Amino acid sequence: MFSELGRASLLIFLAELGDKTQLLAMAFALQYSVREVLLGVALGSLLNHGLAVIIGSYLAYLIPLSAVRLGSALLFIVFGLWNLWSKEEELDQNHKALGSPVVVVALAFFLGELGDKTQLTAIALASNAVYPAAVLAGTVLGMVLTSLGGIYVGTKLGDRIPELALKLISSYVFIGFGIFHLIQTVPRHLLTPVNTAAALAALGSAVLFRSVQLWRQHGLGSRGGEMKNVARQLQALDRLLGEICLGEEDCRAEHCPVGYCKKLVRDELNGSRDKKRRQVVQPFARRGQQFDRRKLEQALAVLETAGFDQELYRELKTNLEKLLRPV
């Protein structure tokens, strides 16, 4: 049993090294936490590999596999464009509508691996296995291990690159995946030089237009080292706030000091903060809530060394200190 598990893990790991799986994991790691991405990869791979034989058996009678892969390619392009045109708040709302970031990642990996070599490998290994469950566990483990490399790169990039650049990188990766899959699935007689050039020109023009528009809005092209440092500090503070958040079911959003600080930081990163808008509600921490004191001290330390304007600095510090002494 363990030999089958190990063999399946090794085969999948080697097959996916440097493949789109790692790039996709990197793109998601720019937006979500490591835990959410890993859970999504595991869930998507489990569904894909676990249902591989069933899907392979029934799709032939219902929908051609090429049509499914064509649909998944278009979904990648749509997601990339949606990511470019949507604001941070809209993305958060849409992701919540799908259930959670884990569901988003799982769906992307499930669709992306349909008919891919990893799914075919899972079918081949299971057909000759004494313990099919061990093979399934091994293939999922192999996908998770492979994705770790992409996640590592994504988290390192997230610590060093401003939010707009992360948005552009992740969008380009998704659109690139979609184009790659389209080239593989579109019938050859339609892939004429004229059709290909026209499609790429239309898509490229839209992406370039939006990218330049975002770049000008945020002014990153003309910012010096000081502004880049502020962006890095905001990114670091945003990540710390995400770790401090208790993730309670009855989240109070901006009525909670953590949620209010996250809103201020993300507005600042997006360049959309209204300078005249200040606390209409007074966020407060509930009695009995236990926040990670070490993380809070780290967040306050980042705040003290960051070059934020005084008004933003005072708001953030006041609300972070509320977490040290709940009402």
Taking 70 as the threshold, does the pLDDT of residue 62 lie above it?
Answer: no
Of 11 and 312, the structure prediction assigns the larger pLDDT to 312
172 and 43 part of one domain: yes
pLDDT digits (tens, 9 = 90+) for 228-284: 677 778 888 888 888 888 776 667 777 788 888 888 888 887 765 554 454 555 777
199 and 230 part of one domain: no
pLDDT digits (tens, 9 = 90+) for 8-59: 788 777 666 656 677 778 778 777 778 888 888 888 888 877 766 455 445 4
267 and 155 part of one domain: no
43 and 80 part of one domain: yes
Look at residue 327 and tell me if it is in a domain. Answer: no
Domain boundary among 202, 218, 234: 218
Q: pLDDT-based confidence at 115, cuts 50/70/90?
A: low
Domain boundary among 218, 251, 286: 218
93 and 205 part of one domain: yes
CA distance 1 to 168: 44
Query: Taking the mean position of all CA atoms in its chain, how far away is CA 273?
Result: 24
Query: Which candidate, 12, 40, 11, places its Cα nearest to that of 25?
Result: 40
87 and 171 part of one domain: yes
164 and 48 part of one domain: yes
Highest mean pLDDT among 98-107, 136-145, 153-162, 219-228: 136-145
Q: pLDDT-based confidence at 200, cuts 50/70/90?
A: very high
pLDDT of residue 120: 67
89 and 177 part of one domain: yes
- Cα distances from 184 to residues 207, 290, 304, in angstroms, run 22, 52, 52
Look at residue 293 and tell me if it is in a domain. Answer: yes
Query: Which candidate, 5, 1, 3, 2, places its Cα nearest to that of 135?
Result: 5
232 and 100 part of one domain: no
Domain boundary among 186, 202, 218: 218
pLDDT of residue 326: 60
Q: Which pTM value belongs to this model? A: 0.47
199 and 313 part of one domain: no
The boundaries of the domain holding residue 49 are 2-218
Taking 60 as the threshold, does the pLDDT of residue 61 lie above it?
Answer: no
229 and 214 part of one domain: no
